[in-house]
Every structure is written in C-alpha cells, then in structure tokens.
C-alpha cells in the first residue's frame, strides 16, 4: 500500500476512534470501513491528493472505478461508497473541511432477492427424516415444528422460555426486536413436539446456571445460538435429500 501523509493517517485514525466510541459499531464493520478508506487514501496519494480536503468528486469516482477492476459486486461497491461517505461526513462534523466530495455520488442499486419458501411437502420430508432415537432428535424436530408453526424469528426461538409457554391457550409469549413483547399462536402438533423434547431429552441434561428457563438447549445445558439453529436446519434439509450420504452435526 502507498505510504500516505501524516494528515491522511491522522484523519483515518480519528475516524476509527469515532466509529468505535461514538458509533459503537462492531469490530468487523469498523475494520471494513477503515480498510476501504485506506484504499482511498492510497489511491488519492498516488494521484497527488496528499490530504482528504484535496479530494474532489472525480477522485472518488476514479478510485471506485479503479477498485471495480477487481470485479467488485454491486454490494461491495455500495459498501465502499458507504465507507467513503461515512468518512467525509465525520470530517465535516469535525470541521476538518467544508466540502464533501461524496455528496453527489449515488451508489449502485443492490437488488433484494425474495427469500426461498419451502413447500409443505419439503417441510414434512425434513420432519420425517429426523431420527428420534438419536441425541437431540426430539429437540431438532421441535425446533423445526415451532419455526414452521409459529413463524418465530430465530432470535426469538433461541430466547424462548418455559415460563412463556401457555399450552392451554395455544400461544407463546416472545420478546421481539426492541424488546417488544408479543403473543404468537402455535398449533397443537408443535406444542406436542416441544413437550416430547422437554420430557425426553431436556429433562436428562445437566442444565447450566442461568439457562434453566430456556426451552431449547445444547447438550451442555446451555441455550442454543443462531448459528447452531442454522446448522441444525441445514443438516436436516441435507439429510432429507440425501439420507444415505450426509452426516449430521449434533449440538
């Protein structure tokens, strides 16, 4: 990477601190933004702009075009421009300059594809492929039944608690986005699968302290993570398609 001026380096450092302390972004997001701005600083330095305030709109466009030679996708292009815009918005707020070279540049349109929806027959194949004699079999079936019957988000499923199961009423109380509480109807088949799991598998676990009320647990007695749910669903789908040629992962 081209050696940049002290002015570029200081601005990028201050931007990183801003993202961390004031924006409270995730570490990976911060590193991604900083890497992109470092690419901008190298490109501009190589072309004579030794400080951020010397950069013009054309320089931003030329930098993006240069980086696009590496076959960046529309999503990557949008992320690049987002990083550049955030950087210059920060410099404007800090009174380091009075001109934003990114202001009039529009990012590429990022298409949003509709999620795939499984047919009822595919759901039934998945449910029927689960071997209930294996460890966590009842749990995995109950998980898929519950997601299918209630439409819960995965984050709501992993945080579902025993004290929020209202079996007689056929509803669940879940905490959604923004800690908003809502009531969700659930069918008798899914409730029966949850009960089978609680009676057969969950009752035999040594439950970790602080996890006693969570419905779905791993074999160490702790609540499941989002990643575990995705793997369970992926494994079950694969087994339903290739029953003799896929080895499941159990948690």
Residue 83 sits in a domain of what CATH number?
1.10.150.130
**Each residue of 156-192: pLDDT tens digit?**
999 999 999 998 899 999 887 777 888 999 989 899 9
Domain count of the fold of the chain: 2
Computed over its alpha carbons, how large is the radius of gyration of the chain?
A: 25
One domain for residues 80 and 161: no
pLDDT tens-digit profile of 49-82?
999 999 999 999 899 888 877 666 677 778 888 8
Sign of CA dihedral 116, 117, 119, 120: positive
Q: What is the pLDDT averaged over residues 118-137?
A: 80
Q: Which residue has the higher pLDDT, 8 or 24?
A: 8
Q: Rounded to whole angstroms, how far apart are CA atoms 178 and 152?
A: 15
Query: String of b and e for 138-165 (b: at least 16 CB within 10 Å)?
Result: bbbbbbbbbbbbbebebebbbbbeeebb
DSSP lists the bridge partners of residue 183 as: 173
Spatial neighbors of 81 by CB under 8 A, at least 6 apart, are 64, 102, 105, 107
Instruction: Identify whether residues 133 and 229 lie together within a single domain.
Output: yes
Domain extent at residue 13: 6-93
User: Rounded to 5 degrees, what angle do the CA atoms 73, 2, 14 make?
Assistant: 80
Query: Which of helix, strand or coil describes residue 47?
Result: coil
In a domain? residue 83: yes
Q: Residue 98: its pLDDT value, please? A: 82
% of the chain surpassing 90 pLDDT: 43
185 domain residue, yes or no: yes
User: In the structure encoding, which two tokens stand for residue 78, read together?
Assistant: 């949008």
């Amino acid at each position: 990477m081209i050696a940049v001026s002290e002015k570029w380096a200081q601005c990028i450092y201050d931007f990183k601190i801003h993202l961390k302390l004031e924006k409270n972004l995730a570490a990976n997001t911060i590193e991604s933004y900083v890497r992109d701005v470092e690419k901008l600083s190298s490109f501009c330095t190589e072309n004579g702009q030794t400080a951020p305030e010397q950069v013009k709109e054309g320089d931003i466009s030329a930098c993006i075009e240069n980086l696009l030679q590496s076959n960046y996708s529309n999503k990557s292009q949008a992320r690049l421009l987002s990083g550049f815009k955030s950087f210059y918005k920060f410099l404007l707020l800090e009174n380091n300059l009075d001109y934003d070279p990114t202001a009039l540049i529009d990012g590429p349109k990022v298409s949003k594809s509709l999620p795939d929806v499984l047919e009822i027959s595919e759901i039934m194949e998945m449910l029927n492929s689960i071997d209930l004699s294996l460890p966590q079999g009842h749990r995995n079936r109950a998980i898929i039944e519950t997601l299918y019957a209630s439409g819960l988000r995965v984050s709501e499923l992993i945080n579902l608690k025993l004290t929020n199961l209202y079996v007689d009423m056929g509803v669940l109380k879940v905490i959604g986005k923004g800690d908003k509480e809502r009531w969700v109807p659930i069918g008798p088949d899914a409730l029966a699968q949850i009960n089978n799991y609680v009676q057969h598998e969950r009752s035999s676990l040594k439950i970790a302290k602080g996890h006693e009320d969570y419905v779905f647990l791993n074999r160490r007695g702790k609540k499941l993570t989002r990643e575990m749910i995705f793997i369970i669903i992926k494994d079950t789908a694969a087994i339903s398609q290739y029953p003799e040629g896929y080895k499941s992962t159990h948690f």
